[in-house]
Amino acid sequence: LGKETARSGVRVNCVTPAAVRTPIFEQMTQQHIDFMLSKIPMGRFGGVDEIAAMVAWLSSEECSFSTGAVFDLSGGRAVY
């Protein structure tokens, strides 16, 4: 989509967050939470505010030359 809409000025980017602490965590066992944390190199969950900040930046003029990109917010979980 990013390539198809680039010339018209429409930017298409994607944010791929890993686990983000939300109220659903209250329904999880501590064992499950600990397992999920063990897979994140930064050793913590992301925050909703961190995801929102990335989306705000992607929507801003500061990011006006980006399209067709995938932005990983996984605390290093998806290290290539």
Q: What pTM was computed for the model?
A: 0.82
- Model confidence at 80: pLDDT above 70: no
Q: Give tens-digit pLDDT for 33-79.
A: 999 999 999 999 999 999 999 999 999 999 999 999 999 999 988 77
Q: Kindly report the CATH number that applies to the domain delimited by 2-73.
A: 3.40.50.720
Per-residue pLDDT, averaged over 15-41, amounts to 94
Residues 72, 33: Cα–Cα separation, whole Å: 21
Tell me the H-state helices in the chain.
Answer: 2-5, 30-38, 48-58
- Model confidence at 21: pLDDT above 70: yes
Distances in Å between the Cα of 62 and the Cα atoms of 10, 31, 51, 58 are 15, 41, 17, 8
pLDDT the model gives residue 5: 84
